[in-house]
Structure 1
Amino acid sequence: MTAPIRPSRPRQPEEPARQESLRTLNLELVFRHILAAGQPISRTELATVTGLTRPTIGRIVEELLAGQLITETGIARDGRAGRPRVGLTMSRTGPAGLGLDIRADGLAACIVDLTGNVRHLAFEPAAYTGGNATAVLADVARMARMAVDAASGEQLTVVTATLAVPGPVHAGVVRTAPGLGWRDVDAGALLRGFTLHLNLPVAVDNEANLAALGELYASVNALDSFVYVSGGLGIGAGIVLDGRLMRGARGWSGELGHVTVHPDGKPCPCGSRGCLHTYASLEAILSANPVPEGASPDAAILARAEAGDAATLAALDTAGTALGVALSDMVNILDIDTVLLGGSFSLLSSWLAANARTEIDQRVLTAAWAPVTIRPALLGPDAAVIGAALTSIDQIRQHPIAWLAQQPQGSGQPLGADGMIELPEDTAIR
């Protein structure tokens, strides 16, 4: 599976560029052009599109090659006369990102390389609803170690791990995750403790936000504005506007599961009443006929729906209607024209989308002349774990100089005044 990451927007310097700043800006400029090319690009083409001198391009390319950020591959044919030129493209070895996800029916781990390709994807079924955060994160750490070993076997170095959790997060602390029974759990610290020997930085983020980023990165049609709805242990939304994830003032935006759909409705685990969670979560859909302990809830719902089970179909109708009511408010406020159903909802979209669309058509002011698209997420239930891995590796894409600074200086070649490998002026640019 390939999920290409879009190049980061260039950062504008806030003060006059010093020698080291100029070096960083030039290196990142070249790196972004290689990243955005989508196919092998030659040194000559890079000199043309960046306006940098041929020797400067040569120095930058050698440093990027030495740091395993790019590789020479194939032939770059630019239509010019003369011999074909060696192409440069993103490396499939070197730095990689690790994503981890706690789902309704188990755990997932994913490794993504710089090219955006998924190199390792593992899932382990289990039920994680008992509130024992230490036990859950111990299992997450075990999967992380297995993923790091798998990456090492493919000459990849994991630079960061990002954990996706179903709830609002601040500084690594999961403030509340009703589906897990967690409250004020420092998941970042616990996971770092379990993976201490890996010497791996750990980030924690809301799973709907990470899934939305995964869909943004992987969008084949450059989808820039949408709401990603994640259904599973809870119901969350990742909101993307003009290519940017909207996190809110404290990073807690998108708690769609706790939007009120019936003011005097059922009590919700959050302490309120009539929340979407109480009508459309997997727990709510299964309330009339719970699954045996340890069974996969979404698989059970899917099997029962396909078999025509009346109670399950009625619960899905109720869930779809409630979802449409909540989404109508969001669409009216944000003016978003696309809703992606993700997590377990991606598997159940055939039963949820029709009722949700009916409510949106009735309740959204502009629906008559600007229809809203509702469809399954491209990455399905894996969106959050892939998004987490992509987020980890995107740090290298945005700041390649930080990775290069950690690499041993083993080239043996003299450094120029700008801190780069010095090449003679007449060095050939291929």
Structure 2
Amino acid sequence: MTEFGVMTSGRTPLTPARQASLREHNLGMVLDQIVNAATPPSRADIAGATGLTRATVSALADHLLAGRLIAELAPVSSQRAGRPAVPLVPAARTLVAVGLEVNVDYLGVRAIDLTGAVLAESVEPGDFRNTRPEPVLAALAALFAGVVTPLEAEGIPMAGCYVALPGLVDRNTGPLRLAPNLGWESVDVVGLLTRNLQMNGTPVALANEAKLAARAEAEARRPDDVHSFFYVSGEIGIGGAIVTDGAVVPGRHGWSGEIGHTLIDPNGPLCGCGSHGCLEQYAGKDALMRAARLPQSAPVRALLDSVGSPSTDTALAEGGRALGIALSNTANLIDVDTLVLGGVYTSLAPYLIPPIQRELAARVLSHRWSPVTVQAARSVDYAALTGGAKTVLGDIVMDPNSWTRRVLAEPTPIT
């Protein structure tokens, strides 16, 4: 699989290659045009957008059709002379990509196809604080099998999976270095899962939960041309991700965006990471529930239902203020003008945004010339699951031949 974050969706469109691999490159470029089009393009549309000849586009499209990556719609009349145009779309239910997640209070699996449709999913609540990785990952593999086995029985082949984890992950192969809220350290997640028979040999890759959620958010914002932002994933822990030109920026080791462990007060409460005064001790879900005098195991809905009580209003105001301090530092460091609140913060956004914006106005040096916008996320409902599956599909779009070789007994020549 490609290095996480180097995906085509939402970025500047690929351009024709002028090297030995130009056929494979151009095949990916044509598939990218079809998968990410606002309206289904014809072969002539793709030729016009890419600069490839009509004959080349036709040959490439025929190869993608044979590899069951795209499908043709009924011809439509055109104002131009000649035959009616045949729109091209991603093929439905011809492959399945899966996003998995281990979070502090749930396990999740979501399977999608190349159209982005959810074919099946399952989310299992639980308390995974200070657990052993082996039984938790075995439970995740069983959840995976329950979702995927019926799809494979229908003849829909598996493309791969990404696992979202709430901690430091060494790129896409691991290990998971540290997940403080799980109590996990130096865990070979890929090895444990690939050796599990219920995974049935499925290729496994890893990424931080916030980065995968940001990947889904980047796709959700593409129609509005919002391609650069800082994403904040609010759960029991707090993760973050930088998105530039539609691509997640992973950092040297894949560890960027750990905003939950930025400092609010050096004399503050002890954090699970071993430091004092980290942001998640003021604005993580557990911290907000404690401050609101609600059970930590209660859903975020309980916090919303108690808005108006002094303890809840104070919890949200102080949590928003802490977030505003941390996000002000972020905006000053990376010159970002859009901040996106995801995870549990999406539903809490109306109460968190005002105190966040007050801190931004007071602390961001460039605020007078370019105020920072704070918005609720558009990709909701376990966004990291969608982001994981979309990342698998991004690999296929980058290199369709890796998939068509599996489908075709004899690879069709690309001319």
Larger CA deviation: 240-249 vs 315-324: 240-249
Aligned residue in 2 for 1:254: 257
Alpha-carbon spacing, 1:124–1:91, altered in 2? closer, same or farther (3 Å): same
Equivalent position amino acid for 1:176 in 2: L
CA distance in 2, matches of 1:79, 1:195: 56
Are 2:146 and 1:149 equivalent residues in the alignment? no
Are 2:137 and 1:137 equivalent residues in the alignment? yes
Q: 1:188 aligns with which of 183, 187, 190?
A: 190
Q: C-alpha offsets along residues 102-161 of structure 1, whole Å, 9 cap, x if unaligned?
A: 234312221222123333333222222132222221221122112213533665322111
* 1:8, distance to aligned residue in structure 2 (A): 7.2
Alpha-carbon spacing, 1:43–1:12, altered in 2? closer, same or farther (3 Å): closer
Q: 1:227 aligns with which of 227, 230, 234?
A: 230
* 1:201, distance to aligned residue in structure 2 (A): 0.6
* 1:366, distance to aligned residue in structure 2 (A): 1.9
Q: Verify the 8 A CA contact 1:93 1:155 in the aligned structure 2.
A: no
Are 2:74 and 1:74 equivalent residues in the alignment? yes
Equivalent position amino acid for 1:347 in 2: S
Equivalent position amino acid for 1:71 in 2: A
CA distance in 1, matches of 2:373, 2:51: 43
Alpha-carbon spacing, 1:346–1:40, altered in 2? closer, same or farther (3 Å): closer
SS in 1 for 2:86: strand
SS in 2 for 1:100: strand
Q: Verify the 8 A CA contact 1:43 1:58 in the aligned structure 2.
A: yes
Q: What RMSD, in angstroms, separates the aligned Cα atoms of the two structures?
A: 2.6
* 1:60, distance to aligned residue in structure 2 (A): 2.5
CA distance in 1, matches of 2:16, 2:43: 25
Q: Verify the 8 A CA contact 2:212 2:384 in the aligned structure 1.
A: yes
Aligned residue in 1 for 2:239: 236
SS in 1 for 2:407: coil
Give matches, 1:20-419, under 5 Å.
21-47=21-47, 50=50, 52=52, 56-152=56-152, 156-170=156-170, 171-195=173-197, 198-219=200-221, 220-287=223-290, 289=293, 291=295, 295-305=297-307, 308-409=308-409, 419=413
Larger CA deviation: 370-379 vs 191-200: 191-200
Alpha-carbon spacing, 1:314–1:77, altered in 2? closer, same or farther (3 Å): same
Alpha-carbon spacing, 1:22–1:266, altered in 2? closer, same or farther (3 Å): closer
Larger CA deviation: 30-39 vs 323-332: 30-39
Q: Verify the 8 A CA contact 1:145 1:195 in the aligned structure 2.
A: no
* 1:387, distance to aligned residue in structure 2 (A): 0.8
TM-score between both structures, scaled by the size of structure 2: 0.88
CA distance in 2, matches of 1:360, 1:94: 47
Alpha-carbon spacing, 1:249–1:100, altered in 2? closer, same or farther (3 Å): same
CA distance in 2, matches of 1:189, 1:11: 37
Q: Verify the 8 A CA contact 1:8 1:398 in the aligned structure 2.
A: no
Q: Verify the 8 A CA contact 2:234 2:343 in the aligned structure 1.
A: yes
Q: Verify the 8 A CA contact 2:16 2:25 in the aligned structure 1.
A: no
Q: Verify the 8 A CA contact 2:131 2:182 in the aligned structure 1.
A: yes
SS in 2 for 1:350: helix
SS in 2 for 1:264: coil
Q: Matched residue pairs, number?
A: 404
Alpha-carbon spacing, 1:367–1:401, altered in 2? closer, same or farther (3 Å): same
Question: Which of the two has higher C-alpha Rg?
Answer: 1
SS in 1 for 2:158: strand
Alpha-carbon spacing, 1:39–1:153, altered in 2? closer, same or farther (3 Å): farther
**Among the aligned pairs, what percent are the same residue?**
37
SS in 1 for 2:257: coil
SS in 2 for 1:261: coil
CA distance in 2, matches of 1:197, 1:278: 36
Equivalent position amino acid for 2:80 in 1: R
Q: C-alpha offsets along residues 314-344 of structure 1, whole Å, 9 cap, x if unaligned?
A: 2222211111100000001111111111111
Structure 1 spans left out of the alignment, 5+ residues: 422-430
Q: Verify the 8 A CA contact 1:5 1:116 in the aligned structure 2.
A: no
Give matches, 1:6-21, under 5 Å.
6=10, 9-10=13-14, 17-18=19-20, 21=21
Structure 2 spans left out of the alignment, 5+ residues: 1-7
CA distance in 1, matches of 2:362, 2:266: 20
CA distance in 1, matches of 2:49, 2:226: 26
Alpha-carbon spacing, 1:180–1:190, altered in 2? closer, same or farther (3 Å): same
Equivalent position amino acid for 1:252 in 2: W
Equivalent position amino acid for 1:316 in 2: L
